[in-house]
Amino acid sequence: MTTPYALVAATLDQLTRYAPFDQMAREHLVWMIERLKVGYYAKGEVVLAPGDAPVDTFYVIKQGIILGEQDVVRAQENAAWLELHEGECFPLGALMSKRGVTSTYRAGTDTFCYELAAADFRELIKASEPFSDFCSRRIANLLEQSKEVIQAQYAKSTSEQQSMSSPLSAIIRREPITCAPDTSLREVLEIMHGNGIGSMVAVDGERRPVGIFTLHDVLSRVALPGLSLDEPLATVMTPDPYTMPPHAFAYEAALVMARHGFRHILVEENGRLKGLISEKDLFSLQRVGLRQISGTIRNAVSMDTLKGSARDIRQLAHNMMAQGVAAEQLTQIISTLNDLLTCRIIELELQDSPVRGIEFCWLALGSEGRLEQTLNTDQDNGIVFNPDDGMDADAVRALVLPFAKRVNLALAECGFPLCNGQVMASNPRWCLSLAEWQDTFAGWIDHGAPMDLLHSTIFFDFRPLYGAEHLAGALRDWLSEAAPKNPRFLHQMAVNALRNRPPLGLVRDFVTGDGHTLDLKLNGITPFVDAARIFDLASGGRHTNTVGRLRELAEMKFLNEQDADAYIQAFLFIQLLRLRLHHGQCERGEALTNKVDPDSLNHLDQRILKEAFRQARKLQTKLELDYQVRS
């Protein structure tokens, strides 16, 4: 029986307000609509339940709410890990895998669903690429649509911009000009001048790079020493130059340049030179000066210069935000530059200081320790030291604390506020010997008091920033062995983490707080950070970065690879929203916060944020089941 035209038109109008139907060809939508049936489910009625038989129906919610439950627990406000609303579809994973569902789907209100037979669902996947892509990569697909919207908003500022996500193979401008290491300097300089290039790569007979020489080297290594131009290039070139593979990303090369002060990166594949990437290649179109900022920081001799660099970092972050640089890349870039700034402050404060003779390591904690800093961040740091023979820990601490206080105050001058909770190296509690840190951590793990659990969420994400990194490495080794041995402590961490639930409502999309806002850090980022930390500690992992932890857990088969990818995508989207929020607040001269009014987001971003919160709840459900935490 042919579906009446008016009904087709009405259904088409409703469905095209939602992904993926808004991306599909009209003919494919009409084909689907002509095969849809409408089902009614009373509040509390089970639509799908776990079983051996493959799912035989694809559902799209026409009106109402569907709740997803795990185990056989009836959905409560804190028990359901999934809430689906009008325009959303299910159960994609089961249909794609031709299996039964692993969760119970229950009507949260009186609900109507469009229903499509599984055979027709598979035909539609074959016919419609947007539909197929969405079903196999739901959150990734939504993120791509959001990225397109952002790029359209920034179209004017991003025109002709080089993407920081581009592989190096896409940035190589031409075949590199090379020579043998025994070529004379005179000939090398003539070749460079004739070709208008600023560097020469020396290769061996098999085209393996063995050295690099740049115009920057001419003054310091040739002209000033008065070296004869008949000397071979090998006498002045930089041997064993840094290389990266063609599939490495532009932002990774930029980070290497920033960390080491390089102006060029060689691209090498299977041991052979494939190309050369210069700072100009990376940033001439971007109009950002990552290496310039890092160079200024390295050479700074005054606080005024460093304060200017701190402002430059924030401006650079704004520029790159406007250019659509991804959240993972941008937070790493911000953290890397902040690392360099901190290290330079430490170097300046160490000059003529008695601390110079002490073996210590400055530790980055919290978001800085995880390389997840945004524009809104205060200080979280500590010191681990090794007392010299004849000195006890108290004596060393007495020397180190004044130095640590000067560093903390200098960081505050550069725009990193002092921590209200005093989690800083200038606090005697967090300026400890290796043995004292181990005793402190052991006390937290053994007792698990509320404050111990709070401290563990900050301090267990430590990362060495400056000094004797082996001390931080020894502490990480100790923690990786100690934490898995105390399941009671990990259970307490899980209970504590599960008190903070993603703000999803059963009656409306979001549960908002003061001023009709959502806290993107507390309720959005933190559930992922906490769960990843607990699973990582349980598995003896060594990562501190949340994305790194989730990837490591997937590699160890502790998490399903597809689930881990969805968690990562969701986490990074919320980070992206935080960065966009901070960018807008800076533009308007407002104080930086993590609170956003969901009504200020476009429909697509609201949809993805809801999906991201669901992924956080799904990850929490695994935490809940693994540690037998009752809701």
pLDDT of residue 322: 63
pLDDT of residue 78: 43
Q: Which of 153, 333, 369 is nearest to 254 (CA)?
A: 333
Single out the residue in 226, 259, 283 at which a domain terminates.
Answer: 283
Position 508 pLDDT exceeds 60: no
CA distance 368 to 463: 8
Q: Which of 347, 562, 376 is nearest to 465 (CA)?
A: 347
Structural domain harbouring 124: 5-136
Position 284 pLDDT exceeds 80: no
- CATH code, domain carrying 102: 2.60.120.10
Question: What's the mean pLDDT in 596-613?
Answer: 86
CA distance 327 to 319: 13
Single out the residue in 239, 267, 283 at which a domain terminates.
Answer: 283
The first and second tokens of residue 262, run together, are 């390089």
Which segments of 323-392 does DSSP mark as H helices, in order? 327-350, 366-369
Single out the residue in 262, 283, 304 at which a domain terminates.
Answer: 283
In a domain, 508, yes or no: no
Position 157 pLDDT exceeds 80: no
In a domain, 96, yes or no: yes
CA angle 132, 134, 139 (to 5 degrees): 155
pLDDT of 48-61, one tens digit each? 998 878 999 999 99
In a domain, 27, yes or no: yes
CA distance 541 to 342: 27
Q: pTM above 0.85?
A: no
pLDDT of residue 429: 96
In a domain, 45, yes or no: yes
Position 249 pLDDT exceeds 90: no
If one compares 12 and 138, the residue with the highest pLDDT of the two is 12
Residues 19 and 111 both lie in one domain: yes
- CATH code, domain carrying 196: 3.10.580.10
CA distance 80 to 504: 10
The first and second tokens of residue 146, run together, are 């959001």
DSSP string, 35-81: T-EEEEE-TT-EEE---SSPP-EEEEEEES-EEEESTTPPP-TTT-S
Q: Which of 326, 412, 346 is nearest to 377 (CA)?
A: 412
Instruction: Tell me what percent of the residues of the chain surpass a pLDDT of 70.
Output: 90
Confidence tier at 158 by pLDDT (50, 70, 90): very low
Residues 201 and 126 both lie in one domain: no
What is the number of domains present in the chain?
A: 2
pLDDT of 549-574, one tens digit each? 999 999 999 998 888 988 998 999 99
CA distance 281 to 264: 9
